[in-house]
Structure 1
Amino acid sequence: MSPETTHRILLAGIGNIFLGDDGFGPAVLGRVAAGPLPTGVRAVDYGIGGMHLAYDLLGDWDALILVDAVPGRGNPGAVRVFEVDPGKTGIATQLDAHAMDPGSVFASVEALGGTLPRTIVVGCQAACVAEGIGLSAPVAAAVDGAIEAIGRLLSELGADAPERCRTVGSEG
């Protein structure tokens, strides 16, 4: 990619590693961030630091890829990729420094005077978010699929996907 087409993309993992499958975002980010990333891509494991993510989103980002566990409404381990509708983020009128769910983070960005960039979620259906460290078997098995989805998204957003995010046999 030429320098004049470089996009600024924030790849953010969120979740609590002490609540089982809620640690999906940090598990994926740990793998993706283990090596070099394309120019303009920043990968951060925010854990439960919702305000940190909100403040970082006040920067000049072209896109946000948010990696998180999603509530139990389907098959555990199923990976879903969907775009957030900026008009339907559940915007609150006040800041909540302790809230970490994506809606609260998005509300905080807007309460701070910012605007969300294009936001895409790579979510994995959680099986268990009870106290405990480690992902359930179906969610752990979904990490590779989420990493491949991130690679596809980075390419679609104008960044070259790192080798570790490419599907076997894919180009580019």
Structure 2
Amino acid sequence: MLVAGIGNVFLGDDGFGPEVVRRLPPHPDPAVRVVDYGIRGMHLAYDLLDGWDALVLIDAVPNRGVAGRLQVFRAEPDGTGAANLDAHAMNPEAVFAGVRALGGTVPPTVVVGCEVETVDERMGLSAPVAAAVAAAVVAVGRVLTDLTAAGPDQSRPPPE
């Protein structure tokens, strides 16, 4: 399983994914790889060609009313997206399209996201998003446990 922290640390709460990855304890299973991709979408696309059983994306998500609220959900990549990959930007849908354009298959994907307060140019997370990091570390652990228990077909839904 590939665990990917994504986001731009120079845009406030967009740095949520890299911060969670930084705080994740080493995983005992050597089949689990944890990487801070930051904004390197091409790097993630190429790594996804290695045939992972599952992908866990840790990312900032749009604010739907409560900054700092965690959301865990299965991503349903739209197969119609164009592969407009920018080596210095991270758009998950463009990454998924890039994987398909390169002949790969996007693995079952679970997102551990946090609603942002601000993505203005600045270093550091806002207080509500920073407060959600510890809970996100726990959530990633639960997702990995559930995905491992489900096996390669990933038939179980992610935890709520």
Q: What is the one-letter code of the residue matched to 2:133?
A: V
How far apart, in 1, do the equivalents of 2:119 and 2:18 lie? 14
Partner of 2:63: 72
Query: Which segments of 5 or more consecutive residues in structure 2 lack a partner in the other structure?
Result: 150-160
Letter in 2 for 1:10: L
| Distance of aligned partners of 1:90 and 1:69 in 2 relative to their CA distance in 1, 3 Å threshold | farther
How do 1:38-53 residues align onto structure 2 when only pairs under 5 Å count?
A: 38-53=29-44
Does residue 25 (structure 1) correspond to residue 17 (structure 2)? The answer is yes
Contact 2:83 2:94 (8 Å CA) reproduced: no
Query: What root-mean-square deviation, in Å, do the aligned CA atoms of Structure 1 and Structure 2 show?
Result: 1.6
Q: Aligned-pair distance for 1:97?
A: 3.9
Q: Is this contact kept in 2: 1:96–1:108, CA < 8 A?
A: no
Q: Which structure: larger Rg?
A: 1
* % identical equivalent positions: 60
Q: TM-score, normalised by structure 2?
A: 0.87
| DSSP-derived class of the 1:57 partner | helix
Unmatched 5+ residue regions in structure 1? 1-8, 160-172
Structure 2 residue 105 is the aligned partner of structure 1 residue 134: no
The match for 2:153 is none
Work out whether residues 83 and 95 of structure 2, in 8 Å CA contact, stay in contact via their aligned partners in 1.
no
**Cα distance per residue 1:83-120 (max 9 Å; x no partner):** 0124x255215554444111111111111111100100
- SS of match in other structure, 2:117: coil
